Chain A
Amino acid sequence: NAGVTQTPKFQVLKTGQSMTLQCAQDMNHNSMYWYRQDPGMGLRLIYYSASEGTTDKGEVPNGYNVSRLNKREFSLRLESAAPSQTSVYFCASRNRGRDEKLFFGSGTQLSVL
Chain B
Amino acid sequence: KNEVEQSPQNLTAQEGEFITINCSYSVGISALHWLQQHPGGGIVSLFMLSSGKKKHGRLIATINIQEKHSSLHITASHPRDSAVYICAVSGGGNQFYFGTGTSLTVIP
Residues in A lying within 8 Å of B, measured CB to CB: 31, 33, 40-45, 48, 50, 56, 58, 90, 92, 99-107
Contacts of B88 in A (CB 8 A): 43, 102
Interface size on B, residues (CB 8 A): 22
A101 and B48 form a contact (CB under 8 A): yes
Within 8 Å by CB of B45, from A33, A43, A56, A102, lies A102
Closest 5 CB pairs of A and B: A42-B98, A104-B43, A43-B98, A106-B42, A42-B100
Closest to B87 in A: A42
A102 touches B33 (CB 8 A): yes
The docked-state distance in angstroms from the alpha carbon of A43 to that of B4 is 11
Which A residues lie within 8 Å of B96 (CB)? 33, 43, 45, 102
Is B42 in contact with A105, judged by CB distance below 8 angstroms? yes
Q: Taking the complex as formed, is B107 at the interface, i.e. its CB lies under 8 A from any CB of chain A?
A: no
* Bound Cα distance from A33 to B48, whole angstroms: 18
